[in-house]
């Protein structure tokens, strides 16, 4: 019940943010303050690091990586893992694209450190990373009895997603509220995909 309440609260926050930025080309709330603070102290080495981290969240890396993991899972007859990876990764990517079409927010063009096309809200890297990392933590620990190990896996998953989001802000290709929206929807999509898998795809 607590998780359901949390999801409802997060969904309300997401919708509120979405309505605030819909069709906008400007920042809201803390967007400009954060971007200005970061971009007044740009370090070339850190830019390269952030580019690499951002690459790990791109479709150029994820498609072959997830595809390989799915193939290995099928070969080993771990069909639950294969279905969850497909649903979670492909599903969150497609859903993010649809959400961007709905909200039509322009990226923070004045802060770009790299070339980046497409719309801005919610951040695809943040949404897909949060959903995927939580899914991996779940798959690795669903039969784990140690609470400490489960907590460690989920903590690491959230940390990686947070770093991914930070890389997008540092590179200036997303407003901070895009990242927040991506994290929220990534968490929601992870829970919904797990629920759907339990009551839907598990019957296939």
Residue 154 is predicted with a pLDDT of 93
Residue 67 is predicted with a pLDDT of 87
Residue 187 is predicted with a pLDDT of 96
Give the tokens for residue 180.
């927040």
- 131 to 110, 157, 202: CA distances (angstroms): 29, 9, 19
Average pLDDT over residues 84-110: 92
CA distance 165 to 54: 8
Residue 200 is predicted with a pLDDT of 59
CA distance 77 to 22: 44
What's the pTM?
0.90
Average pLDDT over residues 105-110: 94
Average pLDDT over residues 140-166: 91
Q: What is the pLDDT of residues 36-82, one digit of tens each?
A: 999 888 889 999 999 999 998 888 888 888 888 889 989 988 888 88
- Would you say residue 204 has pLDDT above 60? no
Residue 112 is predicted with a pLDDT of 92
Q: What is the mean pLDDT of the chain?
A: 90
- Would you say residue 202 has pLDDT above 60? no
| Terminal-residue alpha carbon distance, the chain | 28
Q: What is the pLDDT of residues 175-192, one digit of tens each?
A: 999 999 999 999 999 998
């Amino acid at each position: 019940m607590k998780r359901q309440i949390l999801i409802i609260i997060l969904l309300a926050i997401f919708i509120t943010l979405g309505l605030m930025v819909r069709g906008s080309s400007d920042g809201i709330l803390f967007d400009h303050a954060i971007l200005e603070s970061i971009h007044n102290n740009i370090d070339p080495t850190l830019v390269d690091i952030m580019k690499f981290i951002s690459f790990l969240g791109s479709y150029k890396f994820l498609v072959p990586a997830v595809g390989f993991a799915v193939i290995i899972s099928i070969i080993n007859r771990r069909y639950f893992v294969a279905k969850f990876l497909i649903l979670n990764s492909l599903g969150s990517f497609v859903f993010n694209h649809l959400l961007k079409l709905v909200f039509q927010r322009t990226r923070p063009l004045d802060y770009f450190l790299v070339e980046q096309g497409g719309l801005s809200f919610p951040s695809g890297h943040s949404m897909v990373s949060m959903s995927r990392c939580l899914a991996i933590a779940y798959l690795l620990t669903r039969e784990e009895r140690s609470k400490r190990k489960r907590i460690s896996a989920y903590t690491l998953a959230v940390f990686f997603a947070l770093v991914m989001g930070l890389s997008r802000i540092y590179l200036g290709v997303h407003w901070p509220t895009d990242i927040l929206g991506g994290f929220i929807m990534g968490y929601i999509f992870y829970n919904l995909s797990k629920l759907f898998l339990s009551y839907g795809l598990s019957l296939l």
